[in-house]
Chain A
């Protein structure tokens, strides 16, 4: 008999206060409690974190990499959003 699937979760860990939670991987668990415990066991065996988030993988909506051109083009063409676009004479010093 085929083994039934257990839901997939994405795991995010804050390595220390002041830093954002960062995606570290995924795991399988049937509910939130077990997902948190499994995340503790799988991803923090050497003191990697102070805080864990687990999120059902199905709850994540992702952009389509095939459309990344269209998706990110608006940012690429706006070089005036960067400080280096503007001319400030050397005499003015660091700004």
Chain B
């Protein structure tokens, strides 16, 4: 999930490369062929994808934190088992994506180190806190819903390993959205306090979720190259509108009010929404969201505290390898 358009595309430097190869590459893309790891590709294509896929991977991993926050406090065993499975899935998604990114030539360790050092970004949405149990429902319903909207076109991305990872992710993500909607539905059928809790969570998450689709098309500088390379199939605004159109009726069914007064369906069936506060988006991306420092600190702590496990596993593997060599020599 969560590639967001925080990935700005590299400038096209094909002029420096073999023009014939570049033309051939573009012809393959135009013919809807998939590009595989050992194929020739422009350096900017490689760089753009490495950044986009690794940001996507980091988002999956950091995305475990806001939800992990509620595992021990889930209201029932059923909810707890489901949430645990969902968080495990996010971890799995992160790993598929790191593996896809690595096929472009950067090791997972380098990618993770860049994230821990604050040099690589992840989706802005995970810098918001999960204050109540209703947030877990809203995340599944809306954050995962937005992610699915973003990821379905990525299943047809020109880069084979990324597209294949997305197919797996999308299959699993559908459970996430449904379990979220079920949580919100249960709250909405509950007491007045529970309904109010669901509404309050929706009020907090609505605008940050719309920001997940990235800056508006008018200001998004580099999507041209991504579109030309068929990494991106729809613009940020197109996907955002699709998401809003799908979500409004779901909210109506729940009896919840979208915190955007005066939304009226237009003649084409779309639900126009008000201006998004892009200053907030920029602030969160710049590291000044409510939880940026917490998230990075938590990832850093987990990484550091896991160092001895990695060392022990490597030492054990080395010892066994030495023993095998010694036995073979006998």
Contact = CB atoms under 8 A, between A and B. Distances in A.
A34 interface: yes
B276 interface: no
Given A3-B113, A30-B313, A62 B92 contact: no
B95 A4 contact: no
Interface string A16-43: 0000000001111111001000000110
A31 B38 contact: no
A64 interface: yes
Contacts of A2: 109-110, 113
A77 interface: no
9 contacts: A2-B109, A4-B314, A6-B313, A7-B317, A25-B168, A31-B316, A41-B92, A45-B88, A65-B39
Contacts of A64: 38
A61 interface: no
Given A30-B313, A45-B89, A66-B40, A5 B109 contact: yes
Interface residues of A, number: 23
Interface string B148-168: 000000000000000011001
A3 B316 contact: no
B309 to A, nearest CB: 10
Secondary structure of the A side of the interface?
loop
Q: Which of A2, A4, A7, A30 has the most CB of B within 10 A?
A: A30
Contact of A4 (B36, B96, B109): B109
A8 interface: yes
A3 B98 CA distance: 15
A75 B108 CA distance: 38
Interface of B: 36, 38-40, 85, 88-89, 92, 95-96, 99, 102, 107-110, 112-113, 164-165, 168, 172, 303, 310, 313-314, 316-317, 320
Contacts of B89: 45
A64 B39 CA distance: 8
Contact of B99 (A26, A65, A66): A26
B313 A34 contact: yes
A64 to B, nearest CB: 7
A3 B109 contact: yes
A24 to B, nearest CB: 8
Given A27-B95, A62-B38, A5 B313 contact: no
Contacts of A31: 313, 316-317, 320
Contacts of A46: 172
B22 to A, nearest CB: 15
Interface in A42-66: 42, 45-46, 62, 64-66
Contacts of B313: 6, 29-31, 34
Nearest to A7: B317
A3 B300 CA distance: 12
Given A6-B314, A29-B313, A46-B172, 10 more contacts: A2-B109, A3-B310, A7-B317, A30-B313, A30-B316, A31-B316, A31-B320, A41-B88, A42-B96, A45-B88
Given A5-B107, A45-B88, A30 B314 contact: yes
A27 B109 contact: no
